[in-house]
Each structure stands twice: as C-alpha cells, then as structure tokens.
Amino acid sequence: MGTTLIIKKNLFFYKPIFCILYAGNFLKLAQNLKEFLHDHSLEILNQMQ
C-alpha cells in the first residue's frame, strides 16, 4: 500500500520533467528538420540554375 503512494508521488514529480524533455526533443527535431530542408532547398536551387 505504501509503495503505490510513493510511486504515485514520483510520477507526479517526474511528469513535468518528462514533458520538458519531450518538448526539448521535439524542438531539437524540428530544428534539425528545418536545417535539413534549408540545405536541400539550396541544393535544389543550385541545380536549377
């Protein structure tokens, strides 16, 4: 009985941390995607000229 209470407390404590980490990973992924598309669009423009 006592262990489930501790687990619930830990989940309540860790949930915001997981959300922050998840958001950070998502932003990093979006940044990488943006850079990737930027590089590719430059390549495509160079080929078109």
Give the confidence band of 31 by pLDDT, cuts at 50, 70, 90: very high
* Residue boundaries of the structural domains of the chain: 19-49
pLDDT at 34: 93
For residue 49, give the DSSP letter.
-
Distance between CA atoms of 28 and 8, rounded to whole angstroms?
A: 30
Q: Which long-range contacts link 13-16 to residues 24+ away (Cβ below 8 Å)?
A: none
Distance CA 7, CA 27 (A): 29
Average pLDDT, integer, range 5-25 = 82
